[in-house]
Amino acid sequence: MEYQLDNTHPRVLKIVITGPLEKQGTMAAMADLILHPEYPYKHSLWDFTRGTQMKLSMGDLREIVGVLKLLSTREKGFANKSALLVPHMMGMGMAKIYVSLSKLLPFEYKIFTQINEAMDFLAPNQ
């Protein structure tokens, strides 16, 4: 799995995933996102449209949520919206499971199949 973090949008940090989605790469992308200096002030868009296959188990998803629980900020004014841009049904199912597992986190996750809808959620009127 490869990923690229794009911080060019004034209100959104975009992570574009390429290749098979797997735990180690997802954890690395999360770390880069969380350590980014604009992370507390920009919402995040996870773009899985260039991913080729899902190589995450339920245990992997639980571990990812557990790490986010430990690292999440509760800063006032924290940009807590995350959009998951998912292109196909298999990814949609896993994304729904992930969102369900992360209900107790201080994030508002939503799943989208269209980039314009995801951006409207993250940065309306932009």
| pLDDT digit string, tens, across residues 3-25 | 999 999 999 999 999 999 999 99
Between strands 2-6 and 43-55, the pairing is unpaired
- Residue 63 CA: distances (Å) to CA of 17, 23, 26: 19, 9, 11
| pLDDT digit string, tens, across residues 71-114 | 666 566 678 899 999 987 667 888 899 999 988 888 899 999 99
Between strands 43-55 and 12-22, the pairing is parallel
52 vs 71, higher pLDDT: 52
Name the maximum alpha-carbon separation found in the chain.
Answer: 38
Pair of tokens at residue 79? 């940009």
Q: Is the pLDDT of residue 121 over 90?
A: yes
CB 109 within 8 A of CB 102: yes
